[in-house]
C-alpha cells in the first residue's frame, strides 16, 4: 500500500534512496540508555545525534526566501509503510508531563506561540515540516515527525531550526537551532512508520529558554486508543500555501490496512504539515499525544499519527532531560 501526501497524489518511488546517506549515518549516532526513564523501553530503543557545529543552521542560512521555498518534508516518508503487527508497540503505565507557561512578560502573538515550522536539510535539499515546543527539563525541546529529523533509516538532518509562531515568512520569536536530534531506533535504523516521531534540543537565540519564551505543551504517553484529537500544522501543498497555521479535529481510528500501529483522524491537511502536534481534546491547550505523520492515497482526507507508547516516551525522556 502506497503512502501519499494528502490531497496531492502519490509519493514518487525511491524518494528515500535518492537522498545521500554517506558517513553521516554511520558516525556520531549512539544508542542512549533509558536508565532515568519511567517506561518499559530498552536501552537500544533511542538514537541520538549531536549536531556538529559545522552542520548547525547559521544565522544567515534560513532566510525568508529559503523558508518559503523549502520542500514539504512528506516526500521523505517514501513509498512503503513498514509492517507492524498488532500489539507491536510497547505500552507501559500512562505518563503525562504538564505544560509549561511562557514568561508572562512575553507578548502573545498569532497564531499559536509554541507551534511553528521546522526547517532542515537532508541530502543537500532544504525541507520544511511543522513542530511544537513541549514541556521538558531542559526547557528547550521541540517535537516533530521522525522523518523531519532522520531519513528513516539513514542520516540525521543538518541545519535544523525551529521557528515558533511562523507567519508569512516571519520569525517573531527568532530561529532556534538544534544542537541534538533524537528518534526511536525503530525509525532511525528501521524506518518503521509506527515510530515516526522525532525530538530536537534547540539553542536559544536570546539566552531565555524556549519554554519561557513561547510556553510548552504538556505531553502524554501510553494512553487509550481511539481518543479525540485536535491536530495543527502548516500545510503547503494546494489548496494551502504553508504560510498560515491550520487545524483539524476528530476521533482516531486504527490503520485500516493494519500496516502500522498508527491512528488516523479526519483531516485534509497537505504536505508541510508533517510533525504538527496532535492534542487530546479540543484546541491547543491539551496534552500532546501524537504528530502528523502520513496519509494513504486510497483513504481520502485522513491524517495518520503514531501511537505514543513506551518507546517514544523513552525517546522523549532522553531528549528532554
Does some domain include residue 217? yes
Residues 265 and 289 sit within 8 Å (Cβ to Cβ): no
* Domain count of the fold of the chain: 1
* First CA to last CA distance, the chain: 38
- pLDDT reported for residue 20: 22
Q: Which three cell numbers stand for residue 194?
A: 509506527
pLDDT of residue 93: 62
Strand 288-291 relative to strand 176-184, pairing:
unpaired
211 — phi, psi (to 5°)? -60, -40
C-alpha cell at 216: 510548552
| Per-residue model confidence as pLDDT tens digits over 44-67 | 788 998 888 888 888 789 988 888
In a domain, 34, yes or no: yes
Residue 89 lies in a domain: no
The widest CA-to-CA distance across the chain, in whole angstroms, is 50
Distance CA 133, CA 170 (A): 18
pLDDT value, residue 17: 23
pLDDT value for 54: 83
| Residue-level pLDDT at 87 | 47
d(CA 262, CA 178): 27
Three-state SS for 163?
A: strand
99 Cβ neighbours under 8 A, 6+ residues apart: 135, 215, 216, 217, 218, 285, 287
Domain hosting 274: range is 3-52+70-80+114-320
Q: Answer whether residue 91 is part of any domain.
A: no
Q: Half-sphere exposure of 90 toward its Cβ, with a 13 Å CA cutoff?
A: 16
CB atoms within 10 A of CB 105: 7
Domain presence at residue 109: no
Encode pLDDT of 311-321 as tens digits: 999 999 999 99
Considering the domain boundaries, does residue 234 fall inside one? Answer: yes
Average pLDDT by stretches of 10, the chain with 321 residues: 34 24 28 35 76 84 87 70 51 63 42 95 95 98 98 96 93 96 96 97 97 97 97 90 92 95 95 96 96 93 97 97 94
pTM metric for this prediction: 0.78
CATH number at residue 131: 2.40.10.10
Residue 120, in any domain of the structure: yes
Amino acid at each position: 500500500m502506497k503512502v501519499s501526501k494528502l490531497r496531492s497524489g502519490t509519493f514518487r518511488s525511491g524518494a528515500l534512496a535518492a537522498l545521500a546517506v554517506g558517513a553521516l549515518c554511520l558516525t556520531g549516532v549512539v544508542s542512549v540508555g533509558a536508565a532515568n526513564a519511567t517506561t518499559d523501553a530498552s536501552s537500544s530503543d533511542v538514537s541520538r545525534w549531536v549536531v556538529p557545529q559545522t552542520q548547525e543552521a547559521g544565522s544567515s542560512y534560513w532566510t525568508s526566501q529559503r523558508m518559503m521555498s523549502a520542500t514539504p518534508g512528506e516526500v521523505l516518508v517514501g513509498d512503503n509503510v513498514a509492517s507492524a503487527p498488532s500489539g507491536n508497540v510497547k505500552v507501559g503505565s500512562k505518563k503525562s508531563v504538564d505544560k509549561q507557561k511562557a514568561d508572562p512578560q512575553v507578548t502573545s502573538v498569532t497564531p499559536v506561540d509554541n507551534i511553528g515550522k521546522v526547517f532542515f536539510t537532508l541530502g543537500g535539499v532544504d525541507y520544511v515540516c511543522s513542530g511544537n515546543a513541549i514541556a521538558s527539563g531542559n526547557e528547550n525541546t521541540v517535537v516533530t515527525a521522525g522523518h523531519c529529523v532522520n531519513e528513516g533509516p539513514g542520516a540525521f538532518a543538518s541545519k535544523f531550526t525551529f521557528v515558533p509562531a511562523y507567519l508569512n515568512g516571519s520569525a517573531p520569536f527568532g530561529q532556534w537551532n538544534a544542537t541534538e536530534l533524537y528518534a526511536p531506533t525503530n525509525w532511525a535504523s528501521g524506518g518503521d512508520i509506527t515510530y515516526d516521531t522525532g525530538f530536537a534540543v534547540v539553542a536559544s537565540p536570546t539566552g531565555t529558554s524556549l519554554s519561557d519564551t513561547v510556553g510548552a505543551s504538556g505531553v502524554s504517553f501510553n494512553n487509550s486508543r481511539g481518543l479525540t484529537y485536535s491536530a495543527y500544522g502548516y500545510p503547503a501543498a494546494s489548496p494551502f500555501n504553508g504560510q498560515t497555521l491550520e487545524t483539524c479535529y476528530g476521533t482516531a481510528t486504527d490503520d485500516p490496512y493494519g500496516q502500522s500501529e498508527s491512528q488516523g483522524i479526519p483531516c485534509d491537511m497537505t504536505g508541510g504539515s508533517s510533525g504538527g502536534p496532535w492534542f487530546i481534546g479540543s484546541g491547543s491547550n491539551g496534552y500532546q499525544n501524537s504528530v502528523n505523520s502520513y496519509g494513504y492515497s486510497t483513504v481520502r482526507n485522513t491524517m495518520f499519527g503514531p501511537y505514543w507508547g513506551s518507546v517514544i516516551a523513552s525517546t522523549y525522556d532522553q531528549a528532554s532531560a
